[in-house]
A and B are shown apart, each in its own frame.
Chain A
């Protein structure tokens, strides 16, 4: 008996250490980000960094304004949401509410398979096939622009949004649907007026995690967004999001230089943005569980 207890406690402590290792990594990453990034503000004022409109990190007369990069990230993210929310939520509704069991058994794994395609493959496909096609189709100067990036990132985020929305829909108790149908509502009315609102905050969580996914995506945007550090005035202009700037420039930035620190400061901004989104998603999903009386 005694030995089994000590065994138990050994297992408990092993798994405890593993669980806390995550926290350790998070703390380490945060610490390094801020340690390497913050010294930038001794050389460039936070205002010039966040609101500056020119990004010339390697020029002799260097400028470190990330407003164009921030704008690029926001444009692409907003565009990608326009693509992935209807697609993701629509397919979740179909899979959960309308599709039969056979269709469901095929569709769900297939949508999730989309998540397994490496981002470089999406990027390559976008650069070689989609961008030239859109350029000819829409008669725009170049296909490497915010529009193409939004389109491809939107498709990449569909599995996240679809699979989480589908989970949210499946948690809506069957009694809600039965009650609605019993009151004489049609299937469509039940879907739109009862099921969707009941799963609302779960779907919002899915959308916010989709935003995080898109905002943090690097390789694909690096390849298809064009990489011009301008504040875009239309979806058909090239943009340079935060992530691709770090990816493109970190390799050549001398360790400890102002450029290097500026890239870490960009990472700080990205980290803060996705952190806010994740907290928001967590708060929403908690509220949603309470609303449905779910204990999870």
Chain B
């Protein structure tokens, strides 16, 4: 009997803890893998300054984050796209009120293998490559077959790319589908004929970023709205952020937080 009682107590405690988000110094952040590096870095620094607060950060993708926010299993949902109408309807039916907080800007860079002589593409050419109209680099100043690398259809970057670059047309069926930005970059780095797209934060020396319509993907071109493939990054909260959620978001929006944003390779809002 006593055992049962203590199990009941524990269950009740777990239930209460999960029912009261942003409570007792614990913040759960979940969602987009694009926002993940910012959230992780910011959480580390924030926890150093505020040891009483425990922030746990998980990836999973924008959709997963928003679904968790609506289910009440996370406090902040990272997302690389605005919330969908369907998700908003779902939120209303569950009595939730998701609020968008723009925390940084991101550009989607088109990358190729460093051995590829091609330096720039037009948006039209990019679209033709990804919809399957162009299949060889020879039409673009290089040589060999094009290996198109895409993110999996469930990623926020895939959706953003589909809208910004492909005008919602379908990606060619023979494109390789990779599960993360790192995976795309590593496949492109190891495959001479590959082309891929990643968040600007994932450009590194092992791949080459291309100019698009003559504009190189950079902080400046994204903030000035000159680079075609750019987008805001969100942290969604349920209602207006309060308590530790608010202090964490305030920290990210602060000068110190935005320096971290830049260090992780994204574009801080102030420029």
Contact = CB atoms under 8 A, between A and B. Distances in A.
- For the complex of A and B, the 4 pairs showing the least CB-CB separation, nearest first, are A252-B154, A227-B177, A252-B63, A132-B190
Contacts of A61: 170
Interface stretch (B96-104, B144-152, B201-209): B144-152
Given A248-B154, A251-B61, A251-B64, A230 B176 contact: no
B112 interface: no
Interface of B: 60-64, 67, 86-87, 90, 144-145, 147, 152-155, 158-159, 162, 168, 170, 173-179, 183, 186-187, 190-191, 193-194
Contacts of B61: 251-252
B154 A228 contact: no
Nearest to B187: A144
A185 interface: no
Interface of A: 54-61, 68, 127-128, 131-132, 135, 141-144, 222, 226-230, 237-238, 240, 248-249, 251-255
B176 A238 contact: yes
Contacts of B175: 228
A230 B174 contact: yes
Nearest to B152: A248
B58 to A, nearest CB: 12
B174 A228 contact: yes
Given A58-B153, A230-B173, A249-B152, A254 B63 contact: yes
Nearest to B71: A255
A59 B174 contact: no
B190 A135 contact: yes
A131 B187 CA distance: 10
A57 B153 contact: yes
Contact of A54 (B173, B186, B193): B173
A58 B191 contact: no
Given A222-B179, A254-B67, A135 B191 contact: yes
A229 B132 CA distance: 14
B170 A59 contact: yes
Nearest to B189: A132
Contact of B63 (A60, A227, A251): A251
A13 to B, nearest CB: 22
A175 B90 CA distance: 71
Nearest to B61: A252
A166 to B, nearest CB: 37
B153 A141 contact: no
Nearest to A132: B190
B168 A227 contact: no
A243 to B, nearest CB: 14
Nearest to A228: B174
5 contacts: A59-B162, A141-B191, A227-B176, A230-B173, A253-B154
Contacts of B144: 141
Contacts of B152: 227, 248-249
A100 B64 CA distance: 55
A254 B147 CA distance: 30
A225 B16 CA distance: 44
B176 A56 contact: no
A142 B144 CA distance: 12
Contact of A240 (B158, B177, B179, B191): B177
B191 A248 contact: no
Most buried by A among B87, B162, B176: B176
A203 to B, nearest CB: 37
A252 B177 contact: no
Contact of B173 (A55, A127, A253): A55
